[in-house]
Structure 1
Amino acid sequence: MAQLTGVSCVWYGKFERGGAAQYSEEFLNRVSCALRLNEAERKLLFLHAVGWEPTSPVNCQETGITEGVRQLLELQPWPAYISDTAWDVIHQNRAFSEWFPDGVTGRNIAEEVFADGAGRRVQLLDWERDWAGPTLAQMRLAQARHPENARLGAVVDGILGTSACARRLWREHRVVEHAHGDRRKVLLPGQETPTTMEITMTSPLGNGELRLVSLVPVQPPEGSK
């Protein structure tokens, strides 16, 4: 059951024993699907676990990335990728691969932000203010929303365990909901001046846990032709 619901055995054991915790609707829906509960049974599960009924219907069908979503990603001229709740990258387009020649699919985009830059062609400018700080602030809120997500917790612990800067930023207790609309600067290969790009984020209707993230240039580098 822990594997089916994407949590640790310790967390699921606590849930099964009736331990009090902030169980998310996402987790309870996964439990409902794994146990094949009908709608009345799902409502009862919610009432016992959190004291309120589910706010939306559940879809127990597999909702992975469809071929159409992959094509949509590939047709974009700017870098784009799809990640999950734990910031793990599920798919990236070719434009994004030019920024990360070693590839990030199957890896974690938050960990890449805190990596030493090996294998990265693009330079993230104002790194601490515009990249590291906001990433940790988003992850803090994500952990509050999904305390049962063992993978998310492992990513956060890994970053804090290897980066003194991350530990210092984490102690600031900053919280940010998302990066949609943020404008940040990057220095691309062969350029001497930075490019400003805007982060745009959407979610496939079939799976609200996924994020389609595009890095859209909104201002060409100064002096470009």
Structure 2
Amino acid sequence: MMDHEQDEHGEHTEHAGQQRRELGAFVRARRENLSPDTPGTRRRTPGLRREELAARAGIGATWVTWIEQGRAVRPSAATFARLADALGLGQAERAYLFALAARHDPADLSMRAGAGAPPAIAAIVAALPHPAYAIDPAWDVIVANTAAQHLFAGLFDHRNPGVPNLLHYVFTDPAARALLPDHEARCARAMAEFRRDYGRGMHDPRVRSVVEALQGNSPLFARLWAQQGVLGREGGPRRFDHPQDGALFFMQHVLADVDRGDFRLIALIPAQ
């Protein structure tokens, strides 16, 4: 048993070491691709020197050296944020840097708060003839086509101020209870799917506020939240009892945005 535990520890250590080496190689490659602030001077190595990158980032040159060398150090998220800015990283590169560093990007909150639908998601939602919508990390419905607005009776009611929130709707709106024939089971599934997203977005105050508000407003939410259920957002058959159209049957399909994996597109295709 002890040998097995030591093997697992060794594998974990090797994985962490490999991740640090990948991080160091990535930072060094990006540094060497940057142009110096004073071009024209003769250099033995391409790009910026470590000291120059550190000065741009407002961090110590030792940090840059240790990161590039893959040392077992743990700079703060703020340090990596300044480094990412100094390297001029694009969105995908920045996400890769923070993934290798095992740190949460502080800028991610500002990107999420009030963000509209990613263009690809908005275009697909608009193009589909069947109900389709997209949710952000707080499960605000950031875009929905006409068919979805008709299906989810009450969710898009003009009398409800603010951005419609799918979780608030499912747990607290009487219209949702009437629309979903298996209401409590659908609530349990929604809760478990949301908890998976919560694990990635719990640093976002908007996400936390949804949990806090529903814990106070919905005993069912509070009970299910305490059960710690977790599910991926899955497709499958869905039934609705629509107030105007009666019983409706769909197959649900879920896609994530390739640029912002915390956004979900949900399409409901009529079942045959």
TM norm structure 2: 0.54
SS at match of 2:172: coil
SS at match of 1:156: helix
- Which residue number in structure 2 is paired with residue 197 of structure 1? 250
Name the aligned partner's letter for residue 209 of structure 1.
Answer: D
Name the aligned partner's letter for residue 156 of structure 2.
Answer: G
Q: Please, which moves more after superposition, 79-88 or 165-174?
A: 165-174
The answer to whether the Cα contact below 8 Å between 1:124 and 1:185 also exists between their aligned partners in 2 is yes
* Matched positions, count: 176
Of 109, 112, 123, the match for 2:169: 112
- Which residue number in structure 2 is paired with residue 19 of structure 1? none
Of 138, 141, 145, the match for 1:89: 141
Distance 1:46 1:181, change over 3 A: closer
The answer to whether the Cα contact below 8 Å between 2:117 and 2:142 also exists between their aligned partners in 1 is no
Distance 1:196 1:50, change over 3 A: same
**Partner Cα distance (1:114, 1:157) in 2:** 13
**Partner Cα distance (2:83, 2:139) in 1:** 24
Distance 1:45 1:201, change over 3 A: closer
The answer to whether the Cα contact below 8 Å between 2:121 and 2:134 also exists between their aligned partners in 1 is no
- Which residue number in structure 1 is paired with residue 129 of structure 2? 77
Q: Give the Å deviation of 1:153.
A: 1.1
Residue 185 (structure 2) pairs with residue 156 (structure 1)? no
**Partner Cα distance (2:255, 2:143) in 1:** 14
The answer to whether the Cα contact below 8 Å between 1:143 and 1:149 also exists between their aligned partners in 2 is no
- Which residue number in structure 1 is paired with residue 188 of structure 2? 133
Identity value in percent? 26
Per-residue CA deviation, residues 127-177 of structure 1 (Å, 9 max, x unaligned), is: 101x21011112222222233121111111111111111122222221112
Per-residue CA deviation, residues 164-198 of structure 1 (Å, 9 max, x unaligned), is: 111222222211121x2232211123445x32222
The structure with more radius of gyration? 2
Gaps spanning 5+ residues in structure 1: where? 1-27, 55-59, 220-225
Distance 1:75 1:164, change over 3 A: same
**Within 5 Å, which residues of 2 pair with 1:1-225?**
32=81, 36-38=85-87, 50=102, 64-66=117-119, 69-99=121-151, 100=153, 103=156, 106-118=163-175, 123-129=179-185, 131-178=186-233, 180-192=234-246, 194-219=247-272
Distance 1:64 1:101, change over 3 A: closer
The answer to whether the Cα contact below 8 Å between 2:238 and 2:250 also exists between their aligned partners in 1 is yes
TM norm structure 1: 0.64
Name the aligned partner's letter for residue 117 of structure 1.
Answer: P
The answer to whether the Cα contact below 8 Å between 1:121 and 1:188 also exists between their aligned partners in 2 is no
Per-residue CA deviation, residues 4-39 of structure 1 (Å, 9 max, x unaligned), is: xxxxxxxxxxxxxxxxxxxxxxxx69x738961426
The answer to whether the Cα contact below 8 Å between 2:256 and 2:264 also exists between their aligned partners in 1 is yes
**Partner Cα distance (1:138, 1:216) in 2:** 20
Q: Which has the higher contact order (CA 8 A, sep 6+)?
A: 1
Distance 1:204 1:148, change over 3 A: same
The CA RMSD over aligned residues, in Å, is: 3.6
The answer to whether the Cα contact below 8 Å between 2:132 and 2:148 also exists between their aligned partners in 1 is yes
Gaps spanning 5+ residues in structure 2: where? 1-76, 106-110
Name the aligned partner's letter for residue 81 of structure 2.
Answer: S
Pick the structure with more helix per residue.
2
